[in-house]
Structure 1
C-alpha cells in the first residue's frame, strides 16, 4: 500500500494536481477506512505537505480511493466502471453542470456542495492496482458524519438538510438541459452501468431478490392476521403489488431505470447517510450536507434517489408524521435551485406520481442493503470472500439473516409505505391505473 501511495503522489505532483511546479515535501498516512459501510473500494487518508512554485508551503488532507486488489472483487463491484463514472463526474460533468446557468441565477445557496477533486486514474487491467481517485478530506471544511445515534435513520433536521442538498444536485441537470441539452446528453451517455451486467443481470440474482421481497410480503400478511396495522384494503393492495410488480421482478426493475423526459436528471445513485457528510452551526444543528462517492451515478427519475434515501434513512414513525413535509422541502429547494428555469410538471403531484412509479428502484435496494447496514455482527473477511462463490439459496439465506428481526421489520415497513403510496387512491383511480410492471 505504501508503494501505491508513493506512485500516486509522484503522479499527482507531475501532472500539477497540487498546482503548477509544486513540490511534494512530505506525506503522512492518517488512517484506513475499515468501517462496515465501506463496500466497493479501499480508502486511505493522509496529509500531504507541498511547496508551490512561489515557495509557499501548503498542507492538503486527502482521501485516496483504490480498487479492490483481486480481479474477482473488482469485477463483482464493477470497480472499473465505478472509477470511470467518478472521474467522469469530477473532470467533465461537474464543471459543466456548475457552469450551466451560474451567471443567470447565481451560485452560493443554489449550488450543491461537492468534494474537491485532485486526481483520478483508471487504466484498468494490468495497471488496475495503480488506479486511484484522490479527493479532499472535507473535514477541513467542517463536514463530518451525521451526529445521530441510529445506524440508518436520520432525524428530521438532518433529513431536511440532505433533501435540500439532493434538490440542488438534481437542479443542476434541469439548468444544464435548459442551456445545452446536446452536450449534457453526450456526457450522460458516457456514464457506465454499475448495477446491471452486459447480458441484463442485476447485482442480485432474480430468485434472491424475489426471496427478499417475499420475506417482506409475508411479514405484512402476518401483521394483517395479528391485526397489527395492516387492514383488509391493504391486503388487496399487496395482492396487486405481487401481481403487477413481482410476477417478473427483474422486468419491473429494468422498467423503472429507463429515463423519461422531461423529468429525468443525473441521479447520485447511492444517496444515503453512509455517503453524506454534514456541517453544523454553533448550536449543533445541521446546516449543509455534502454527498460523496459519485461512482454509481445514473440518468433517470429523481425518484430513484428519493425513494432509496427516504426508505433507507427514515423510520416508520418519521414517514407517518413527516412524509409530506419532507417532499415539500425537496420541491421548495428544487424550485429555489432552478430559479427561472422551467422544471416541467415537477410539482408535488408529479413528484408523488414519480415515486409511485419509480420508487420500486429504492425498494429493491433497501430490501437487501438495509439488512446489511443493520447487521450488528462484524462482517468477517473470509465470509465476504466466500459470498462470491455462494449459490442463490446461500446468498438469500445470508442476506435474510443480516440484521435479524429489526431488519425484517424495517424492510416490511418500507414495503407497506410504498404500497400505500402506490394504491391508496380512489377505487376509480385504482381500476384505471397503468402499472409499471405491465
Structure 2
C-alpha cells in the first residue's frame, strides 16, 4: 500500500521537528513488506544525510503508522497500542538508561528510535531499519533461536527487577502503572472478539484431544472438563486475572513475545548470534510467564517442549539473575533469596495458562497462508460464533492437531487452570 500525500507530509513534519547533528538533504518513502501484519502500516524511509564535514550517507528507517480502517482500530485498540509503544521509547527506556548508565548498552536488544509520537488515530513511530536482521528463518524455533530470544527477554525484564529494588516508588509510578489496556479491557471490541474465538476454538480443541488422544483424555477427564467450562464462558475476566501483577516476579512484559516480534542476525555458519526485540504495543506489568509461556506454546513443537521446556525456564532464570546482578552491582546469590528458581517455576505454573490460551487463538493466523490471512481480516471486524467456526479450517488438520498437542502438554504439566 502506497503512502498518500497526507501521510508523506506527516512524516516530513516529523523529520523536520527533530534536533539532529546532520541535515536531511533528501528522503523517500516506500511500502515495506508486512506479511501477517494486521494492525500497522509499515514504510521504509531512505534518508540522505549531510554532515557538517561534508560527508554524505544514506540511512534506512521503518515508519509505523496506524491502519486507517476504523474496525481494525477499534478491534485491536490501536490508540492504546500506539500510546504504549511510544511511551516505551520516549519515557521508559530513557528512565532505565538514566537509572543504570553503566549498562546502557544492554538496550542494543531494541532498534534505535528516531521519532515516536502519539495522538488519537494519528500516531507515528520511526525506528532504525535493521537490514542485517530478519525474522527467524524457521517456522518452529529450535534451541539456538529460543535460548537467544529468552536471553534478550531476560535482559529486558532485568531492568524491572533492578529498578524495583533500587527505587520501588519510581518504578511503580513510572513503569508499572501507566499503561493502557490494549486487549482485555472490559466491554471492549477486543474482549468481545476474544470471548467468541476462545469459546469456539477452545471447544474444538477439547474435542480434538478426545478424538486423537483418547487414553490421555480418559486419564485427564476432570481437567479437560475444567478447560471446557472455562472456555464456554466469557474469558475476559480470566485473562485479566492472569495478567494481574503479583509478587516479586512481576516485570514490565513485552506482552506479545513471539517470533513475529523477534529479529535475528546470523553468523557465517547460519547460526543466530544476535537478536532485536520489536513491537512493544501490548506491554504490561505482569508475570514473566506471560511472555515465556506464549513463545513456548506458539513457536515450538510438542517434542521441543518435552525436551527443553524445563531447561529453558532454568536458563531464563539464570540469565535474568545475572543481568539484574550486573545492573545492581551485587551477586547472583544475593538475588536468589527473593528470586529463587523454585519460586520462579511456581509463578510460571500459575500463569502458563495465558500462553496456551493466547497460542490457541493465534496459531491459526500464524501458520495460515497469506491468502488465508487476507480472508481472515475480512471476518474479524464483526466476529460471530458462525464466523469463528469458519476459521477452524485455517491451516487444516496440521494446525488442529498442533493446538490439541498444546492442550495435552499443558495438562500433562499439571499447570494451574
User: Aligned match of 1:385 in 363, 370, 378?
Assistant: 378
Q: For 2:264, what is the secondary structure of its paired residue?
A: strand
- Matched residue, 2:68: 69
Against the structure 1 CA distance between its residues 276 and 159, is the aligned structure 2 distance closer, same or farther, given a 3 Å change threshold?
same
What TM-score, normalized to structure 2?
Answer: 0.89
Task: Give distance in 2, aligned partners of 1:112 and 1:257.
Answer: 27
* Aligned 8 A contact 1:45 1:61 in 2: yes
User: Aligned match of 1:316 in 277, 284, 302?
Assistant: 302
Instruction: For residue 253 of structure 1, report the CA deviation from its aligned partner.
Output: 2.0
Against the structure 1 CA distance between its residues 168 and 343, is the aligned structure 2 distance closer, same or farther, given a 3 Å change threshold?
farther
Q: Say which is worse superposed, 76-85 or 193-202, in terms of deviation.
A: 193-202
- Matched residue, 2:195: 206
Against the structure 1 CA distance between its residues 224 and 336, is the aligned structure 2 distance closer, same or farther, given a 3 Å change threshold?
same
- Matched residue, 1:11: 13
Whether 1:192 and 2:194 are equivalent positions in the alignment is: no
User: Aligned match of 2:285 in 295, 299, 310?
Assistant: 299
Instruction: For residue 296 of structure 1, report the CA deviation from its aligned partner.
Output: 0.8
Instruction: For residue 15 of structure 1, report the CA deviation from its aligned partner.
Output: 2.1
Describe how 1:337-348 pairs up with structure 2 within 5 A: 337-339=323-325, 340=330, 342=335, 345-348=338-341
Instruction: For residue 145 of structure 1, report the CA deviation from its aligned partner.
Output: 1.8
User: Aligned match of 2:270 in 284, 287, 304?
Assistant: 284
Instruction: For residue 207 of structure 1, report the CA deviation from its aligned partner.
Output: 3.8
Q: For 2:401, what is the secondary structure of its paired residue?
A: helix
What TM-score, normalized to structure 1?
Answer: 0.85
Task: Give distance in 2, aligned partners of 1:272 and 1:380.
Answer: 18
- Matched residue, 2:112: 116
Task: Give distance in 2, aligned partners of 1:380 and 1:411.
Answer: 18
User: Aligned match of 2:152 in 158, 161, 165?
Assistant: 165
- Matched residue, 2:208: 219
* Aligned 8 A contact 1:98 1:172 in 2: no
Instruction: For residue 344 of structure 1, report the CA deviation from its aligned partner.
Output: 6.0
Instruction: For residue 244 of structure 1, report the CA deviation from its aligned partner.
Output: 6.8
- Matched residue, 1:85: 84
Instruction: For residue 343 of structure 1, report the CA deviation from its aligned partner.
Output: 6.1
Aligned residues: 406
Task: Give distance in 1, aligned partners of 2:11 and 2:237.
Answer: 46
* Aligned 8 A contact 2:161 2:251 in 1: yes
* Aligned 8 A contact 2:200 2:385 in 1: no
Whether 1:405 and 2:405 are equivalent positions in the alignment is: no
Task: Give distance in 2, aligned partners of 1:343 and 1:177.
Answer: 15
- Matched residue, 1:428: none
Deviation digits for residues 193-235 of structure 1 (CA, Å, limit 9, x no counterpart): 110235366252424312211111111112343x4xx264333
- Matched residue, 1:427: none
User: Aligned match of 1:325 in 311, 334, 354?
Assistant: 311
Task: Give distance in 1, aligned partners of 2:9 and 2:336.
Answer: 46
- Matched residue, 1:234: 220
* Aligned 8 A contact 2:245 2:285 in 1: yes
Task: Give distance in 2, aligned partners of 1:353 and 1:203.
Answer: 31
- Matched residue, 2:124: 132
Structure 2: give runs of 5+ residues left out of the alignment: none
Q: For 2:114, what is the secondary structure of its paired residue?
A: strand
Q: Say which is worse superposed, 318-327 or 371-380, in terms of deviation.
A: 371-380
Q: For 2:220, what is the secondary structure of its paired residue?
A: helix
Q: Say which is worse superposed, 236-245 or 318-327, in terms of deviation.
A: 236-245
- Matched residue, 1:430: none
Q: RMSD in angstroms over aligned alpha carbons?
A: 2.5
Structure 1: give runs of 5+ residues left out of the alignment: 424-434
Against the structure 1 CA distance between its residues 330 and 388, is the aligned structure 2 distance closer, same or farther, given a 3 Å change threshold?
same
Instruction: For residue 284 of structure 1, report the CA deviation from its aligned partner.
Output: 1.8
Task: Give distance in 1, aligned partners of 2:355 and 2:258.
Answer: 11
Against the structure 1 CA distance between its residues 277 and 78, is the aligned structure 2 distance closer, same or farther, given a 3 Å change threshold?
same
Deviation digits for residues 48-92 of structure 1 (CA, Å, limit 9, x no counterpart): 112235543232201011111133322222111111111100010
Task: Give distance in 2, aligned partners of 1:421 and 1:223.
Answer: 19
* Aligned 8 A contact 1:216 1:415 in 2: yes
Q: For 2:392, what is the secondary structure of its paired residue?
A: helix
